[in-house]
A and B are shown apart, each in its own frame.
Chain A
Amino acid sequence: MIDLYLSLHPVVQGVLKGLAVIMVIFPIGGICSMAERKVSAWIQGRPGPNRAIVPWVSWIPVIGPFLQRLGLFHVLADGGKMLFKEDALPGHVNKFYFVLAPVVAMMPALTTVTTVPFGAYLDAAGRVVPLALANVDIGLIAVFAVGSLGVYSLILAGWASNSKYPFLGGVRASAQLISYELSLTLSVLPVFLWINAPGTPGTMSLSRAVEFQSLPGFWGGMWFVFLMPVSALVFLVALFAETNRHPFDMAEGEADLVGGFHTEYGAFKWGLFFVAEYAHMLIGSGVFTLLFLGGWNPLPWVSLATLVSWLAPLHPLLAHPLFVGVLSIGIFLGKVIALIFFFMWVRWTVPRFRYDQVMDIGWRKLLPLSVANLVFYAAAIAVIQTR
């Protein structure tokens, strides 16, 4: 199986990998939208969507009704609705860019996934080998560079819609995303200053960041969220702004902008914006997990290798690379899903900021804070690592 795959032409391999990414990200995007509806409902004291069911699943005694209560089949119903409803194209839009915008929204969302490692396994020598579609050395730069292209889709959508609310939404989105990108980038620099100690090969790889959180010892096993809490905080706040989530969803604040940049969109084109937003959230949460929450390490000071060394004596299968790989993906996804839940939790907690407050927080609070944070850690790391 694996030999067959490796014997294929690299282009075919790439296409297969790409299809795999789409097959994973799209359903997760759909499930996230469902989870959003459920979490919203629970916080508002409602049971949430719980009616849709496929007949042959409803025949299963306990699991069927449970899945129905969970609203899992509303994902299919919603997706089907989006696909099959009339895809209206308003007469006053610039048609080429109007259709292009959702495509541009999806492209960076799906591209950045490739550089994010999502798991690891132990090879025969006991080394931790990260699982990623493209475990490149510039990992984080690639994520930032490609991920920030997403703002073009909002600008394109806002401009091509040729109407006031989408235009305002697009303008706000572009200003906001550019403002918070500064703090986002500055906040992760201390992490990589710490990783790129003098005498080691320079890297921006995300899997290296995880490796640094799985070292033995008190300082080695410590997750960066404890080591650099201010960095983590600034990164998280900037992430909320970058993904256009509450309380920073200026671009689609329905109270003042109807639907914001996607006011004129409907059916599947609108759905693509939605999936792109969730894909950005997923990747943002993934990067946060890798940088600050120890990636696929189960607990602080308990690395994946330690866990495997505990499990291995129990049964030889538990140390099999395949099992370890699945386990690490499970741990990583668990953290990402917890973060996504946090996104939704915050949505119903914090009211939306006013636009001038968003700009104020971005430029006059977060940016100085991240600069001060960088200067402090640069000095501290210089003292520690040159000692």
Chain B
Amino acid sequence: MTHPSDTGPAPVLALRDVSKSFGAVRALRGVSLELFPGEVHALAGENGAGKSTLIKTLAGVHRPDAGQVLLDGEPVVFHGPGDARDAGIAVIYQEPTLFPDLSIAENIFMGRQPRRALGRIDHRATHAATAALMRRLGVDLDPDRPARGLSIADQQIVEIAKALSFEARVLIMDEPTAALTGSEVARLFGVVRTLREQGAAVLFISHRLEEIFEICGRVTTLRDGAWIACEPVAGMTEDDLVRRMVGRDLDELYPKQDVTPGEIALSVRRLTREGVFTDVSFEVRRGEIVGLAGLVGAGRTEVARAVFGIDRWDAGEVSVDGRALVNGAPSTAMAAGLALVPEDRRAQGLVMDMSIERNIGLTGLRTTVKGGLMDRGAERSRSLDWAVKLQVKYARIADTVNTLSGGNQQKVVLAKWLATSPKVLIVDEPTRGIDVGTKAEVHRLLSELAADGVAVLMISSDLPEILGMADRVLVMHEGRLAAEIPRSDATEETVMAAATGRAAA
């Protein structure tokens, strides 16, 4: 077995004093990194710290302005992603891109299938090679199954198998767990451990700190493009790591205030959408934060969509402050005081090519109007007001939102909805993919809103977030509400038991 040590083997892949700028933005400033065979190495940092640029440099997408990439100790220049792949470097992205109509085996061996006479594809050999890869990963996936319908977790496994088929020695995993459920993460970590034992070097990126502590040996921290530290994970605490990333002590990640719940603000009665969710009843009171937990696909997002009117419901009723909402009509839901911060901020939350000002303005098309025309002054001051209140970091309010980091984009979505002064705020995965500093800000904001009497329904796959923020936890399992757990009884075990259907009703 090889292990990283001071005198041990050369790193399989390393960066030495690498700098990279885009225009005036210095994305990397003299960053070094060493990846040894048989180690899982974490890369930590807030959004905008330079993690993506570093990954793309290793993957041959970017060439460094200064400094070197070293492969087995020798300086190399990657002219493109193909060079890096040939050198045995593979990147597994958060959302894999497979051909949905091809089988798993065909996806893995796309363009280089084993051949028989006359150039015909040897399906049996392809199947066997794929099965061997799956065995090596310790995963049970049928090679002949089409990629369509595979969960994101399974798709990632296919990508990893594909990387192995290229004899990859270095695997870079960019937020692989962001869209996975607890058990899927556990299986992925099993695969990562197998890879480690087989001598691969793994660079692991995650915003979930507890995962870094679970799976990684060492952690390199970046802040504002600069190298901060590289140290063993053992002996560190989460607070240590956060301090390295943020550069200061973070007050508290879950600043939940105690609130006495008021009147019922949102009431959902026996809501059913055929084949999606069934007989869902709950209420959210003013001042309350109610967590909605469950596995991906349990129907949480679908309930939120129906409540807000994006999808129609087949039976049941929804009311805000006692007034029944119209089925399938978001505009009337908004008028009643309902706001929804959707799951997919790039497609659903924001018009990416529109300015910050106009994105926030979109929820005010009925209010910032004078004599039937847009009141541009009012629109601008409303947008500026909320962008400033939420401390969105931007150059100009007229910049398009796709110039912002993920965390700031999420703040724009929140600004857009808070500007409507909602009575009920539904947030779906409010902190997915955003850095720990912004995450704490979002949590503080939700807590303050609740203290001001807003009823908050928070859907999240981040269990610590649910446990840290919610007054009550609703758990969905296969389209039904499986449990309601008060804050005092909510633990990872009770919530997961209900989410996986193991709880007694």
Q: Do these two chains really belong together in a complex?
A: no
